[in-house]
């Protein structure tokens, strides 16, 4: 049972909705997902249709980083036991768990710190001298990039952070930011795989990026990078941050342009020949599990997208529009119906209220379905933490607005102040799970009617 | 053939997309829709499953207003010919057409004028003395409210306009605005039906309101109104516009509160007993026609919603997310796929560029599908006029951004400046139809792949 709130109010539709969301969270629990992905039969390890003969390997090393790295390390230990020779994995402060053979390093996230540098150095030390008979299991999850912060020689974390801030202020898109950062890291852009070469590398990945692009998740430490020093330089010029760029960084990029320091790992590089990247959990897995449970519960179910992005409140209105069509015309599926969507929305903060993208999405959809009966809309942060709140999201219906207003709240003021938490709390419509130890972005669901 | 641009570039997918959109426009052509809705067999007129014995009626009168009223009047004349005794219908300046028995009045829209008042008075004069043996055909379409502007006695059009502006500035939602306006009109809120009583009234409606709520379209002249003088007064108080309300309007509302002037027509009023409201065309009809044509062309097709509202560029991103899911996972339907949506988005104008909601939606989705192949996204204003431009919308693909940028435009600048027209024009991706003489809001479509 994940949800501590809301209660189901004896309502079968609400109870079914919570069951659907729980199925999704269960599916993407990092340890459970890893146990499902790794199938061991004696000396043979099967992963995503590929087999590894464990007798072939002299050593099995475990490296990696991310907020879910501790339970992932635990699950790998369960499966491989004493076949693991050694391990160095970095987790966020407090996100630790008992491990037998893998050493866990705690470090800063989202702002990287020197403990993260130390953890990464330990990991690299472990990879020093790996040979063709070594198997390196690389555990990657959300936060992995900040938790493996090893800048190129001569550049400090503070300088890297200063440039990142300047780029964010300049409005540079995330792709541009990534091109720069990969060229200032010793790990990103396939470089971790190059450090492990010629070992066999099995990267096991919990994706916190919409669409699960391998080169973006944790800055792609085991994946080819198509961006170049030239691209990185162009970003600084295009977004006019060259003057604010620390001299050490300019120097490094200039040396890169001159071919004096190695590029990130490019597609086709032999360093990637023995690398197998496997997504063990992502938004699609969560959405599929939700859809399967909804279907099993008797809802006519469609999984519409796992790529949803956009302003949270506007996406909430679109979900309401989907609900209305089912109610009015029984399309795209007749009631009892469940539509599942995944992705990650954003909030343009204008007010000083309390909330998060999922709560705001839910509140906006509550306004758009006000007074309707038989409709339930959920929006859930799969990590259990939506914005800077203790809630994971919201679960709203046609009575949400009335309940909140009866408690003295104004829906219009709540939306204007980005104060969805307070309104949904008053209406009894917050979703609370506590930390789930996973993050595969957000899940949204529309329910119309309840199954017979 | 509706579209003068873009050309299909010899591309089968583009050609299919235009065919799908044309099918939608054909279905909601007001004259064609009326001819389909009215089936005459000698002396029997069939409408929406109900029959009228024309021999029972002494007279058949045609009244109404709207931007599509002229072609609607023409179609009614085609069907009923000399059975029509007389008619008075108000159209927008320039939106006229030859008619034989129905007199067309041209008037101001969207700002009502004295010509509209005169047209409405002519219509009311025609209804004076109607009896149980009269049949009144009431033709309603978009703009009908502004084109039937008859304020209650003592209130001028200018005063009504002043209050409307004050309410709009106050942020009052459209429902609140409507409650006030219905109580200051002699026609809205079922009052036209009361004027026609005890005649049989057949209202034939082309809906320009999302979801086709009968009491909202043209302010519901033949439909019960659940709002009261009390509600109207509460709106003025709640949105703090009482001080700006002209004295004549306050007097009238006060007399209404005191029961000295009649309420709008309430549900259950006998004046509505012989009223039959029939939607002859609306967004759902357009969306269904589009979906049917897409299916016939071989696309796996889903009609997702006809209730889409929200900020245009955010809805555009959601459409792109739907396309991505089909490309990546073949969900909710495998390619070749077509998803149809309808509704009406809005644009929060921040820049000084040229565009409209459909063009901006298309441009935002173009950015989100940049570089993808096999995806086409369309957004179309069914009246052929998207914003203050000569375009009806946009039809974009994964190459739109590159084409526009090759022509020297910046997609980011275009979005920031609300300048979608200029960018799409450069990319060759504007949809142009010229005026379609109908308005059933907007149609959106996502195409992935082309049928075999």
User: Are residues A35 and A56 located together in one domain of the fold?
Assistant: yes
Q: Is A269 exposed, middle or buried (0-12, 13-18, 19+ CB in 10 A)?
A: middle
Q: Is residue B3 part of a domain?
A: no
- Pairwise CA distance, residues B177 & A204, whole Å: 57
Q: Is residue A315 part of a domain?
A: yes
Which chain A residue shows the shortest CA-CA distance from B302? A332
User: Are residues A276 and A290 located together in one domain of the fold?
Assistant: no
Question: pLDDT-based confidence at A1, cuts 50/70/90?
Answer: low
Identify the residue among A240, A332, A364 best suited for mutation to test binding to B, counting B beta carbons within 10 A and taking the highest.
Answer: A332
Beta-bridge partner residues of A431:
A393
pLDDT at A437 over 90: no
Q: Is residue A406 part of a domain?
A: yes
CB A304 to CB B325 under 8 A? yes
pLDDT value for A7: 79
User: Are residues A213 and A340 located together in one domain of the fold?
Assistant: no
CATH of the domain at B352: 3.40.1480.10
Q: Which residues in A347-389 belong to E strands, given as ranges?
A: 375-381
Tens digits of per-residue pLDDT, B181-194? 999 999 999 999 99
Closest by CA to B312, choosing from B276, B345, B268, is B345
- Pairwise CA distance, residues A252 & B432, whole Å: 51
Angle between helices A30-37 and A12-27 (to 10 degrees): 60
Q: Is residue B370 part of a domain?
A: yes
Helix (H) or strand (E) holding B289: helix B283-296
Q: Please report residues of A whose CB lies closer than 8 A to that of B322.
A: 304-305, 307
Name the residue among B308, B328, B331 with its Cβ closest to that of A318: B308
Tens digits of per-residue pLDDT, B63-110? 999 999 999 999 999 999 999 999 999 999 999 989 999 999 999 998
Beta-bridge partner residues of B375:
B448
User: Are residues A22 and A57 located together in one domain of the fold?
Assistant: no
User: Are residues B276 and B404 located together in one domain of the fold?
Assistant: no
Phi, psi of B3 (to 5 degrees): -90, 125
User: Are residues A16 and A49 located together in one domain of the fold?
Assistant: no
pLDDT value for B172: 87
- Count chain A–chain B contacts defined by CB atoms under 8 A: 91
- Pairwise CA distance, residues B242 & B247, whole Å: 10
Beta-bridge partner residues of B338:
B301, B447
User: Are residues A325 and A270 located together in one domain of the fold?
Assistant: no
Percent of chain B with pLDDT over 70: 100
**Rounded to a whole number, what is the distance in Å from the CA of A326 to chain B's nearest CA?**
8
User: Are residues A398 and A429 located together in one domain of the fold?
Assistant: yes
Q: Is residue B241 part of a domain?
A: no
User: Are residues A211 and A119 located together in one domain of the fold?
Assistant: yes
Q: Is B304 exposed, middle or buried (0-12, 13-18, 19+ CB in 10 A)?
A: buried
- Pairwise CA distance, residues B437 & B71, whole Å: 8
- Pairwise CA distance, residues B260 & B5, whole Å: 57
Question: pLDDT-based confidence at B295, cuts 50/70/90?
Answer: very high
**Rounded to a whole number, what is the distance in Å from the CA of B64 to chain A's nearest CA?**
28
User: Are residues B59 and B81 located together in one domain of the fold?
Assistant: yes
- Pairwise CA distance, residues A362 & A320, whole Å: 10
pLDDT value for B4: 84
| Mean pLDDT computed over A104-113 | 94
Q: Is residue B253 part of a domain?
A: no
pLDDT at B363 over 70: yes
Residue B377 lies in domain: 12-26+284-448
Query: Residue A313 has what DSSP assignment?
Result: H
- Pairwise CA distance, residues B28 & B26, whole Å: 6
Q: Please report residues of A whose CB lies closer than 8 A to that of B284.
A: 329
CB B321 to CB A343 under 8 A? yes
Q: Please report residues of A whose CB lies closer than 8 A to that of B303.
A: 325, 331-332
Closest by CA to B77, choosing from B128, B139, B124, is B139
CB B321 to CB A302 under 8 A? no
ipTM of predicted assembly, 2 dp = 0.92
| Mean pLDDT computed over A245-271 | 97
CATH of the domain at B93: 3.40.50.10180
User: Are residues B212 and B337 located together in one domain of the fold?
Assistant: no
pLDDT at B1 over 70: no
Question: pLDDT-based confidence at A348, cuts 50/70/90?
Answer: very high
User: Are residues B322 and B438 located together in one domain of the fold?
Assistant: yes
Q: Is residue A255 part of a domain?
A: no
**Rounded to a whole number, what is the distance in Å from the CA of A338 to chain B's nearest CA?**
12
**Rounded to a whole number, what is the distance in Å from the CA of B226 to chain A's nearest CA?**
15
The structural domain count of chain A equals: 2
- Pairwise CA distance, residues A84 & B7, whole Å: 63
CB A309 to CB B321 under 8 A? yes
Cβ–Cβ contacts within 10 Å for residue B167, how many?
A: 22
**Beta carbons of A62 and A76 less than 8 angstroms apart:** yes
Q: Is B255 on the interface with A (CB under 8 A)?
A: no
Phi, psi of A269 (to 5 degrees): -65, 130
User: Of A161-170, A311-320, B260-269, which gets the smallest average pLDDT?
Assistant: A161-170
Which of B250, B281, B312 is where one domain is finished? B281
CA dist list (Å): A364 to A257, A340, A345: 49, 18, 13
Helix (H) or strand (E) holding B161: helix B157-170
pLDDT value for B331: 97
CB A329 to CB B304 under 8 A? no
Q: A313 versus A111: which is more confidently predicted?
A: A313
- Name, in order, each residue with C-beta under 8 angstroms of A410's C-beta and a sequence gap of 6 or more: none
Name the residue among A302, A317, A325 with its Cβ closest to that of B309: A317
Query: Residue A185 has what DSSP assignment?
Result: B
**Tokens, residue A359:** 């709560």
Closest by CA to B200, choosing from B219, B218, B222, is B222
Q: Is residue A141 part of a domain?
A: yes
pLDDT value for B77: 97
pLDDT at A105 over 90: yes
3-state secondary structure of B337: strand
- For chain A, helix, strand, coil in percent to 5 are 40, 20, 40
């Amino acid at each position: 049972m994940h949800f501590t709130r809301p209660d189901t109010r004896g309502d079968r539709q609400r109870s079914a909705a919570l069951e659907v969301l729980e199925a999704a969270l269960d599916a993407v629990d990092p340890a459970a997902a890893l146990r499902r992905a790794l199938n061991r039969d004696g000396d043979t390890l099967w992963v995503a249709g590929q087999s590894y003969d464990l007798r072939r390997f002299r050593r099995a090393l475990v490296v990696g980083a991310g907020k879910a790295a501790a339970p992932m390390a635990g699950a790998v230990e369960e499966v491989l036991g004493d076949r693991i020779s050694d391990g160095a994995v970095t987790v966020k402060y407090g996100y630790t768990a008992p491990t037998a053979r893998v050493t866990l390093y705690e470090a800063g996230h989202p702002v990287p710190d020197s403990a993260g540098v130390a953890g990464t150095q330990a990991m690299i030390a472990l990879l020093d001298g790996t040979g063709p008979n070594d198997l390196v299991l690389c555990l990657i999850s959300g936060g992995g990039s900040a938790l493996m912060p090893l800048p190129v020689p001569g550049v400090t974390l503070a300088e890297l952070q200063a440039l990142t801030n300047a780029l964010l202020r300049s409005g540079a898109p995330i792709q541009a930011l990534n091109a720069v950062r990969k060229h200032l890291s010793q790990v990103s852009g396939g470089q971790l795989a190059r450090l492990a070469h010629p070992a066999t590398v099995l990267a096991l990945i919990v994706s916190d990026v919409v669409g699960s692009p391998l080169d973006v998740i944790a800055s792609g430490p085991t994946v080819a990078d198509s961006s170049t020093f030239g691209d990185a330089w162009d970003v600084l010029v295009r977004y006019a941050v060259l003057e604010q760029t620390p001299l050490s960084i300019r120097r490094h990029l200039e040396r890169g342009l001159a071919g004096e320091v190695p590029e990130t790992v490019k597609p086709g590089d032999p360093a990637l020949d023995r690398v197998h990247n496997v997504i063990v959990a992502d938004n699609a897995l969560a959405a599929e599990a939700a859809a399967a449970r909804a279907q099993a519960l008797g809802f006519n179910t469609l999984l519409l997208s796992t790529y949803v992005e956009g302003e949270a409140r506007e996406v909430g209105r679109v979900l309401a529009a989907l609900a209305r069509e089912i109610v009015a015309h029984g399309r795209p599926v007749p009631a009892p119906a469940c539509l599942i969507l995944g992705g990650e929305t954003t909030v343009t903060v204008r007010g000083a209220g309390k909330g998060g993208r999922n709560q705001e999405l839910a509140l906006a959809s509550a306004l758009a379905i006000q007074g309707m009966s038989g409709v339930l809309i959920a929006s859930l942060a799969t990590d259990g933490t939506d914005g800077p709140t203790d809630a994971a999201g919201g679960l709203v219906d046609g009575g949400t607005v009335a309940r909140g207003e009866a408690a003295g709240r104004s829906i219009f003021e709540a939306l204007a102040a980005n104060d969805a938490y307070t309104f949904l709390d008053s209406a009894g419509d917050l979703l609370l799970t506590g930390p789930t130890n996973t993050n595969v972005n957000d899940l949204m669901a529309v329910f119309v009617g309840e199954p017979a």
